[in-house]
Every structure is written in structure tokens, then in C-alpha cells.
Structure 1
Amino acid sequence: MDAIDRKILAVLQEDGRLTVTELAARVGLSVSPCHRRLRELERAKIIRGYRAIVDPEAVGLPFQALVFVTMRQEDRDTLLGFEKAVAEIPEVVQAQRLFGDPDYLLRVLTADLAAYQRLEDDHLATLPGIQRLTSTLVMKQVVGSRPVLGPGR
């Protein structure tokens, strides 16, 4: 990947709806080479997809919690079962396995505290292998959906 590929990625992260013609103009290429580079970035899975960034509050999900999960047991089958179950909970919009303690970090969106409490009681607390859940409520989003590549990177 060279500087032009990085520029293509930076521009697309700011506006993923650009046409190839518009993208080519912004990165200083003609359409054909830009299109070839774009397809190669997609083929190599550097660009994993295109999507809209949706404001959770605007769709009725203003309540956000970060849930730290400590596992009781960490054998392969338990971890795979936990990860599969977490992936099936739509309110979990991000899940990361961590080194050290805690073992996982989940980002959860719900309508309000009562909805979160029901989710924790009915789903999160019943996930396989859990020893402890620790929830932290998000007061304010300071940085979110920042591009991976942008000016200065």
C-alpha cells in the first residue's frame, strides 16, 4: 500500500458515497487507475465494506453502557460459546476480547436504564462461562467513529 492508496482510504472514510470519478479527482488520479486501486483495496479486504454511520439517539437508543466481562473459565469451547452467544445479541454493537482482566469489553446500546437492566438480567448474565459483569454507563461520547486513516497518518 502506497501513499495514493492511503489517500483513497482517507477520502473514502470521510465520504464513502463518492463516485469513482469524484474519488479520482480528489486523490489526483484518472478514473481507470483509481478504479483499479479501489477494487484491489476491496479484494484485499483492506476496505471491508461501506455503511452509514447512524446516530443511536436519533433511532431511540440513547443509553450506552460499557460492560466488562470476567470469565469463570477460559477453555476454548467456553470462549467460543460465549463469543457466539454475544454475537447474537443485537444490543451489543461492539465486543472485544482483551488481554488480562477483564476478559471482554462489550459496548451496548439500549433505550434506557430499564431496558439495559432487562438485557443484563435476561441475556448478558446468562452467557456461558461468566464469572462477573461490571457495567459502566457512558456519560458522553467524546470521540466516535474516527477514521482509521486520515490527515497526518
Structure 2
Amino acid sequence: MGDQVEGIDELDLKILSYLQDDGRMTFKEIAARIGVAERTVRLRVANLKEDGVLSIVGVVSPIKVGLKTMAAIQIVAEQQKIQQCINELMELDEVRFVSLTTGEYQILSEVCVRSQEELGDFVEQKLNNVTGILRMNIILELKIFKNKFNFIRE
């Protein structure tokens, strides 16, 4: 496995690799595959969760629940209002992702809505009211080919 991260050892990485593939895998099954006691896996997972390394959640497919229109939105914001802009974006239900970036646009966000019409309404009624936005570039996602959450590689 890759380089070791501070506080995470080879055993933690093995546990994480199993859980990222199947978050419902039992501690007993992980322990059997790795060759350690079930209690060891249980304690390690508890520590990884407590340290903020691991969250076990159900990942919902936006398309399967009717959110068929996704857009990446690049934003240029007033320099003194970038954090306020980010905070307001994070409060919007339609926004699923927000990051600070380098380059021409300081903020990158992703939005999931039901239709292009709903995306238009979102931009007009909500996004245009977010503090500090000077300019944006809306990139409509036409087809998703890969959307994985596997970060641990062997």
C-alpha cells in the first residue's frame, strides 16, 4: 500500500480498504481476511472514526433519486468576501460540494437538481443572491463515467 500517513499504520489502511469497498462488511469478516482478532478491527475502526479519518455513510445516487441535472460551478468572488461566499454556498441544499481552488476561479462547487429548469431557477433565485460573487462559469455535466470514493489503493 502507499506511503504511511502519520497516525495510520498498515493495519488501518487494510481495514480502510475493505470498508471503502463495502461499508457494511462485518468486523468479523474483515478480521478473518486480515488475520487479526475481531476486537482489534472494532477498536481500530472506532479510533479511525473518532480521529475523523473514517465516516461510514450510505452514498445515494443522485440520478436514482431524481436529481438528474448536475453542474460544476466555478466562482470568482470579491477577495474580502470569499469566506462569506463559501459559507453561504454551504448552506444551500442544492450544493453538494464546495472547495477553495487556485487559478482564475477561487471557488468550485457542484450542484444537483431535478432539471435544467430547476438549475436555472437555482441560479436566478439563490446563487445570484450569494454575497461576493463577481462572475461564475456553469459547466453542465452531460454524462458521468466515474464517480468513486475509493481513496486507499493497494
TM-score normalised by structure 1 residue count: 0.90
How many angstroms apart in 2 are the aligned matches of 1:32 and 1:60?
41
Percentage of identical aligned residues: 24
Residues 61-111 of structure 1 show CA distances to partners (whole Å, capped at 9, x for unaligned) of 01111111011x211xx2222122111111111111102211111111111
2:79 to 60, 74, 79: 74
Aligned-residue offset at 1:146:
2.9
Aligned to 1:127: 130
**Partner secondary structure for residue 150 of structure 2:** coil
Q: Which runs of 5+ in 1 are unaligned?
A: none
Aligned to 1:58: 64
**Partner secondary structure for residue 79 of structure 2:** coil
1:99 to 91, 95, 102: 102
How many angstroms apart in 2 are the aligned matches of 1:36 and 1:88?
34
Q: Is the 8 A contact 1:66 1:105 kept in 2?
A: yes
Aligned to 1:110: 113
Q: Is the 8 A contact 1:125 1:133 kept in 2?
A: no
Aligned-residue offset at 1:145:
2.5
Q: Which amino acid aligns with 2:134?
A: Q
Aligned-residue offset at 1:37:
1.6
2:40 to 26, 33, 38: 33
Aligned to 2:29: 22
Aligned to 1:42: 49
- Runs (4+) of structure 1 moved beyond 3 Å? none
Aligned-residue offset at 1:27:
2.2
Aligned-residue offset at 1:35:
1.6
How many angstroms apart in 1 are the aligned matches of 2:42 and 2:151?
21
Aligned residues: 147
Q: Is the 8 A contact 1:64 1:107 kept in 2?
A: yes
Aligned to 2:4: none
Q: Which runs of 5+ in 2 are unaligned?
A: 1-7
Aligned-residue offset at 1:19:
2.0
Q: Which amino acid aligns with 1:54?
A: V
